[in-house]
Structure 1
Amino acid sequence: MEGHVQTLARAQAELGARVEVLCINHAAGGEGFSHEFEGRSATREEWDGPIRVVRVGRWASVLRMDVMPELPRELLRALTRGVDVLHLHTPNPTLVLALDSMPWLPPVVVTHHSDVIRQRVAGTLFRPFEALLYARARLLLATSSAYVAGSPLLRGFRNKVRALPLGIDLAPFLSPSPAVLEAEARLRAEGDGPLWLMVGRLVYYKGLFTALEALVRAPGRLLVVGVGPLEKEGRERARALGVEGRVTWAGYLSPEALTGAYRAATALWFPSNARSEAYGLSQVEAMASGLPVINTAIAHSGVPWVSLHEQTGLTVPVGDAGALARAARRLAEEPGLAERLGQAARARAQAEFRHDVMAERSLALYAEALRAPRQVSPRGTSQADAASPRL
């Protein structure tokens, strides 16, 4: 979500919008960033080019909800600078509660990235607060139309829902730098046979164990990029399955090294197993690199919509390690298949998932939100439209 907000804000600013970002300071002990609470962080203001970024300090985390006493003040400061559209990205319980408490808001647009899937009790308890804000919002944006039918929350406001697919800056993938080409060459020289790539946090819904089980029946080696709470168990599972020597745990990679990995791989394995995976931007990165994707048919998720079965990759049933292995063997053994799917993947990324296309669509949706029935402030004045919206 954080990377998407940065990409969207920069692209909107390039189109002439005045953009300000208010977010949580996830600084971990002053160095790096972590979603896990590792001590207090301070409120910090900085500039990303023309974009003001206010990172609000957090003092604690309770049930995975950040405690930020300075948030109301910083939110009011941002609103008093003049805002035409307030765009919130959810799930984000702290910000939802803060906005619910405001007696008046400018026109609100919400991007609903995902339902709360695993934390069912917390999700049930929090849903009334989400529904309250969603009722106040002018528009609700889903990352794909496929996600709407499976979301009870979005279905309750269907007339407000629009689709805004996530996009990325494709330039680093379409025009690789020398550092990217060097990383690609290094990976290609490390071993013969197919290289399968898996990218993302090592959490329950990413399907890591399915990938390891599939590797037992597939040729080649698996490069796992990312860290997370399941890494230790994943290493133990690889050892038990007898594939430990064919798995590389890369941790975090630099953008150049990751792009090189996309270019060196035979396919991206994307075996996610729950609607917590609503989209999968790493699929778009792979596709822009000309890499086919093996994803899963998660019901009411955008995952199989991003990369299309037999067009830009192959889609297999959720949790089916045998099917994943069979799809991998097809790409490795069937002449011309990986190349054909990879070329189509790059074409789809260029047509649908460019960051500038996403930004243009978002500003058109803001204009629609501004034309919707206006809220009236306590003083009886309505929010005025602006030629260059302030966001």
Structure 2
Amino acid sequence: MPLASHRTATQVPRLTNRPLRVAHLGKYYPPSPGGIEEHTRTLARGQAALGAEVRVLVVNHADDSGRDATFERFTRTHDREECDSPVRVTRVGRLANVAKLDVAPGLHGAFRRLVRWRPDVWHLHTPNVTMMLGVLACPAVRPLVVTHHSDIIRQRLLKHLIRPLEEAAYRRAARILPTSPTYAEGSDLLKRFADKVRPLPLGIDLTPFRDPSPAALAAEQDLKRKYGSPLWLCVGRMIYYKGLRVAVDALRSVPGRLLVIGTGPMEGELRALAAGLGVADRVAFHGHATSDQVVGAYRAATALWFPSIARSEGFGLVQVEAMASGCPVINTAIPGSGVPWVCRHEQEGLTVPPNDPGALAAAADRLLREPGLRGALSLDGRRRAAAEFDHGAMAERSLAIYGGVRA
């Protein structure tokens, strides 16, 4: 399946009397952690840099003190308006979060205000039950482009309840953008709308990883002094499909320390598992980290462990961050996912079967005992990140897709 086409910045779609207006409909927005959140910001900023006027509508993930309340069912948040450089961000408050649905009474009014702004393209990021309901309740949301980050996998009852909403939203969509060709090939939902599918790989601003700041370099040295080598790294939310239980189990069979950056509802379970397996003294739970600390961690690590276990993991943006930093990746061969497409086996990283701590440990051991392997993977990872996953190229490809929708 071909990737979305690429245009230069001089070919960005533009109306005769004003710039193109784009309205992104996301889940949450940074500093809320997560791949969808970071992608929404990166794409919005990249499009604005190319001359588009961009607004983003999301649910507010934080309480009044700024604390992340994403996983708290009955923590109330409030409306916020802010500017992220040239991007205007509206965070709608919520009353509760029930079965992945944010109960946000102000969402309908926010949609009406966006309609009055008259976007030329609406861009929905899914899975996202709250915004799908908003789209379906607002007939003026056209033309619609959808980035399909992943199928709903684990929540079987929820999946069947939501499927009619997904199909209705995707019928309205002019284009559907999976994040890799392989994910589209493995999705029953996307196969139903194959004529609308145009893969658009995710991209990031590679600069902080290729040219780290003094603070990132200092963080790298701090981690090396504190944890030594080898240092294995996991970055992401502590939720089931990240496979962090596999990482903790694999640590029993390899030397070194495991540094886990991120937060989430499974932290207590993972700490108990580490204690039960006798590796608690070799697992460091860092919690939230600044951008510089994350860059420093990639540079200090022997490898990024990315042991995800389900197609809920559609792409794995942290793989690109690691590759751009020169940090090899050990990922998993999730059937029908883009994860092993992003970082390919024995080209930029090593790929092992999902849910196999022994295989993960064996791959880590190869990096320690095979001369030159880590250096070769590091070099090729930098090259692939620059060639395929730069945020500027992603933004240009997206605007080219919009031009086809509006033509």
Pick the TM interval, shorter chain.
over 0.9
Give the stretch that moved more between structures: 55-64 or 358-367.
Answer: 55-64
2:124–2:146 CA contact under 8 A, matched in 1:
yes
**Pick aligned residue for 2:169 from 128, 133, 138:** 133
Which residues in structure 2 correspond to 1:359-374 (within 5 Å)? 359-371=395-407
2:263–2:288 CA contact under 8 A, matched in 1:
yes
Q: How far apart, in 1, do the equivalents of 2:319 and 2:209 lie?
A: 12
Alignment correspondent of 1:378: none
Q: How far apart, in 1, do the equivalents of 2:263 and 2:91 lie?
A: 24
Alignment correspondent of 1:217: 253
**Pick aligned residue for 2:386 from 346, 350, 353:** 350
| Pair 1:297 & 2:297 matched | no
Q: How far apart, in 1, do the equivalents of 2:119 and 2:66 lie?
A: 32
2:74–2:97 CA contact under 8 A, matched in 1:
no
2:324–2:385 CA contact under 8 A, matched in 1:
yes
Alignment correspondent of 2:17: none
Alignment correspondent of 1:202: 238
Report Cα offsets for 1:68-102 as digits up to 9, x if no partner.
22211110111111110000001111111121122
Report Cα offsets for 1:238-275 as digits up to 9, x if no partner.
11211111111111111111111100111000010000
1:29–1:38 CA contact under 8 A, matched in 2:
no
Alignment correspondent of 2:311: 275
Counterpart amino acid of residue 54 in structure 1? T
Q: Secondary structure at the match of 1:162?
A: coil
Identical pairs, percent: 56
**Pick aligned residue for 2:48 from 8, 13, 17:** 13
- CA, structure 1 residues 226+348, in 2 after alignment: closer, same or farther (shift >3 Å)? same
1:30–1:41 CA contact under 8 A, matched in 2:
no
| Pair 1:233 & 2:266 matched | no
Alignment correspondent of 2:68: 33
Report Cα offsets for 1:38-86 as digits up to 9, x if no partner.
5322222211222211111112223221112221111011111111000
Alignment correspondent of 2:210: 174
| Pair 1:111 & 2:147 matched | yes
| Pair 1:66 & 2:72 matched | no
Counterpart amino acid of residue 9 in structure 1? A
**Pick aligned residue for 1:322 from 351, 358, 365:** 358
Q: How far apart, in 1, do the equivalents of 2:43 and 2:154 lie?
A: 28
Aligned length: 371
Counterpart amino acid of residue 8 in structure 1? L
| Pair 1:82 & 2:121 matched | no
2:176–2:198 CA contact under 8 A, matched in 1:
yes
Alignment correspondent of 2:221: 185
Shift of the alpha carbon at 1:33?
Answer: 2.8
Q: How far apart, in 1, do the equivalents of 2:139 and 2:302 lie?
A: 54
Give the stretch that moved more between structures: 321-330 or 27-36.
Answer: 27-36
Counterpart amino acid of residue 222 in structure 2? R
Q: Name structure 2 gaps, 5 residues minimum.
A: 1-35
Query: In angstroms, what is the RMSD of aligned CA positions?
Result: 1.2
Give the stretch that moved more between structures: 153-162 or 57-66.
Answer: 57-66
Q: How far apart, in 1, do the equivalents of 2:246 and 2:87 lie?
A: 41
Q: How far apart, in 2, do the equivalents of 1:243 and 1:60 lie?
A: 37
Counterpart amino acid of residue 74 in structure 1? A
| Pair 1:44 & 2:77 matched | no
Alignment correspondent of 1:153: 189
Counterpart amino acid of residue 160 in structure 1? K
TM-score (norm 2): 0.89
Counterpart amino acid of residue 187 in structure 1? L
Q: How far apart, in 1, do the equivalents of 2:173 and 2:65 lie?
A: 35
Between structure 1 and structure 2, the one with the greater Rg is 1
2:237–2:264 CA contact under 8 A, matched in 1:
yes
Alignment correspondent of 1:310: 346
Shift of the alpha carbon at 1:292?
Answer: 0.6
- CA, structure 1 residues 244+39, in 2 after alignment: closer, same or farther (shift >3 Å)? closer
Q: Secondary structure at the match of 1:237?
A: helix
Q: How far apart, in 1, do the equivalents of 2:56 and 2:219 lie?
A: 33
Q: Secondary structure at the match of 2:355?
A: coil
Counterpart amino acid of residue 158 in structure 1? A
Q: How far apart, in 2, do the equivalents of 1:145 and 1:300 lie?
A: 9
Counterpart amino acid of residue 83 in structure 1? P
Counterpart amino acid of residue 35 in structure 1? T
Report Cα offsets for 1:145-202 as digits up to 9, x if no partner.
1111221211110110011111111111111111111111112222443111011111
Counterpart amino acid of residue 275 in structure 2? R
Q: How far apart, in 1, do the equivalents of 2:67 and 2:83 lie?
A: 18
Q: Secondary structure at the match of 2:47?
A: helix
Shift of the alpha carbon at 1:362?
Answer: 0.5
